Amino acid sequence: MPTSKTWLIAGLGNPGPEYELTPHNLGFLAVDRFADRHGIRVTRKEANALVGLGEFQGTPVVLVKPQTYMNLSGPSVRALLDRYELGPDNLLLVYDELALPWLTLRIRPKGSSAGHNGVQSVIGSLGTQDFARVRIGIHPGHPVEGIRHVLSPIRKAHWPELDELRDLSASVIESVISEGVEKAMAKFNRRAQGEKEEEK
């Protein structure tokens, strides 16, 4: 059964074509795939973000792609929550996670930024870390320099996997909306090999 709860689904990334297909933009790419599936245009300019209004199975959704660059995402997300009269419990933040292996993801009901500057900006602007998030793994499985890796274009050889990951991310967003965070966690969360216990 659909719920009456409105979700603000914010994908994190960097604006501009040079960043479009980088690991750091998986939040944008996941929101775009969800939007494509449900005929939502994320083109409205509000609060330094691109915004799309629609619904999924009767539940209203506000899709958001802050255009302030990753590390300054928080004020845009906060402004849009205020504009649509929503709170942190209505927020689903979608972003890349270097601590997780490529092609894996984790849903969490709340938690720290774990060093992710975009997430830290949102936590700082909201004054709480109690909001749901989808963390999309981008670690390639071999040693990398973090900043260089997250901002380097994804190689064409990996585009089929990227397409698969975007579909999975969109399915996870759909599950959170239709079934709630806890059921989505039970359905999609899988412990990756070698992954450390997450910080609570």
DSSP state of 129: -
Is 139 one of the catalytic residues?
no
Tell me the two tokens of residue 65.
């792609």
Report the Cα–Cα distance between both ends of the chain, in Å, rounded.
Answer: 31
Which one of the listed residues 24, 139, 142, 158 is annotated catalytic? 24
Query: With left for phi above 0 and alpha for psi between -120 and 50, is residue 161 left, alpha or beta?
Result: alpha
- Do 55 and 33 form a contact (C-beta atoms < 8 A)? no
Q: Output the six-digit token pair for 156.
A: 């064409």
Using CA atoms, how far apart are residues 22 and 180, in angstroms rounded to an integer?
29
CA-CA-CA-CA torsion for 179, 102, 91, 4, nearest 10 degrees? -20
Which strand (E) or helix (H) includes residue 124?
helix 117-126
Residue positions annotated with a catalytic role: 24
